[in-house]
């Protein structure tokens, strides 16, 4: 992913077709690499190379092309999102929400869907969907940044909203047990949340979100005296494993890595990370140090977002 992914805008038609083929036919990493090698060797487009390398048939390619053209005519959704709407992962557990909260004014994706930021969030969502796991487990993504005030919590909330808007069951977890912010973004109470669920080994109290039936929110709860221990002793890992079975996407907000080690523990459990920095604000040294520390966390860094908002 380009380090300036959030500023890129929408994908071009060739990229849309590529994403459609990957999503529709569940292409493996090995198959994608074979296609890309064929592209370089014969100077072909992704679709043509997919056929000549015998990963898909000409009929399958034509179906994907027709779908791209139809979506372009009839829908504002990206083609990858449309593919995912048609083939969601089956989730049989019925979720119960203890309360319904309302998205606050800072959540542009809900309040102003046609704002430039909203378009860029959807574009970023499309790129992240390229990395979607092909097993029957939720895709967990930890949103991380070196320091405070870099837009990490807001991006986590809007990405969770974006996934839920596809009709995919999404859980947004405020795992920042130091200076949590998700409850403020959604106007929720924060007296009982993740910290209490971990400390007392109880089921977390998930909140529903008005207008987004596929989105659930778990706030941090009152600040515990031992946040790192709560996230590191196995209880949080067991919760993540449970949520992976019941949701399609997990988005985890984290505390700043330059101040606390909690984020590294969360990244190890989630397995995938999206790094956030703010233009003209994040220190290069802090970002470099965070990436160095993430190297030992056994987590895949999917990309980096340079936040201009």
Tens-digit pLDDT profile for residues 167-217: 889 999 999 999 999 999 999 999 889 998 898 888 889 999 999 999 999
- HSE at residue 226, side-chain half, CA atoms within 13 A, is 7
What pLDDT, on the 0 to 100 scale, is given for residue 67? Answer: 67
pTM of the model as a whole: 0.71
How far apart are alpha carbons 2 and 147 in whole angstroms? 21
- Kindly indicate whether the domain formed by 99-307 is annotated with CATH number 3.40.50.300: yes
Q: Identify the pLDDT of residue 7.
A: 36
Give CA–CA dist 143/263, Å, rounded. Answer: 9
Residue by residue, DSSP assigns 254-303 as: ---TTT-SHHHHHHHHH-EEEEEEETTTS-HHHHHHHHHHHTTTT-EEEE
Asked if residue 254 lies in contact with residue 175, where contact means CB atoms within 8 angstroms, the answer is yes
Q: Give the closest residue to 209 by CA, choosing from 253, 142, 151, 157.
A: 157
Domain range list for the chain: 5-86, 99-307
What residue ranges of the chain have pLDDT lower than 70?
A: 1-13, 23-24, 67-68, 70-96, 133-137, 308-309
Place of tokens 């102003």: 112
| Residue 101 in tokens | 């909260």
């Amino acid at each position: 992913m380009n380090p300036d992914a959030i500023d890129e805008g929408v994908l071009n038609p060739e990229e849309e077709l590529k994403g459609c083929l990957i999503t529709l036919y569940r292409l493996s990493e090995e198959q994608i690499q074979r296609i890309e090698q064929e592209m370089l060797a014969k100077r072909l487009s992704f679709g043509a190379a997919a056929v000549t390398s015998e990963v898909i048939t000409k009929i399958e390619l034509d179906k994907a092309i027709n779908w791209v053209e139809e979506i372009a005519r009839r829908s504002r959704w990206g083609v990858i999102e449309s593919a995912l709407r048609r083939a969601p992962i089956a989730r049989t557990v019925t979720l119960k929400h203890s309360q319904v909260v309302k998205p606050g004014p800072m959540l542009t994706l809900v309040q102003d869907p046609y704002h430039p930021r909203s378009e860029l969030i959807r574009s970023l969502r499309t790129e992240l969907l390229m990395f979607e796991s092909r097993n029957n487990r939720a895709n967990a993504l930890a949103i991380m940044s070196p320091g405070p005030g870099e837009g990490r919590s807001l991006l986590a909330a809007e990405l969770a909203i974006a996934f839920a808007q596809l009709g995919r069951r999404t859980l947004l977890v405020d795992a920042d047990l130091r200076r949590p912010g998700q409850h403020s973004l959604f106007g929720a109470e924060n007296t009982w949340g993740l910290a209490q669920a971990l400390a007392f080994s109880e089921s977390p109290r998930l909140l529903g979100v008005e207008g987004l039936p596929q989105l659930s929110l778990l706030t941090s709860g009152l600040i515990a005296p031992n946040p790192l221990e709560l996230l590191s002793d196995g209880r949080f890992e067991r919760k993540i494993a449970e949520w992976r079975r019941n949701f399609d996407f997990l988005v985890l907000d984290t505390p700043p890595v330059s101040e606390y080690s909690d984020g590294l523990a969360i990244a190890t459990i989630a397995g995938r990370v999206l790094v956030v920095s703010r233009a003209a604000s994040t220190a290069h040294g802090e970002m470099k140090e965070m990436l160095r520390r993430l190297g030992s966390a056994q987590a895949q860094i999917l990309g980096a977002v340079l936040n201009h908002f």
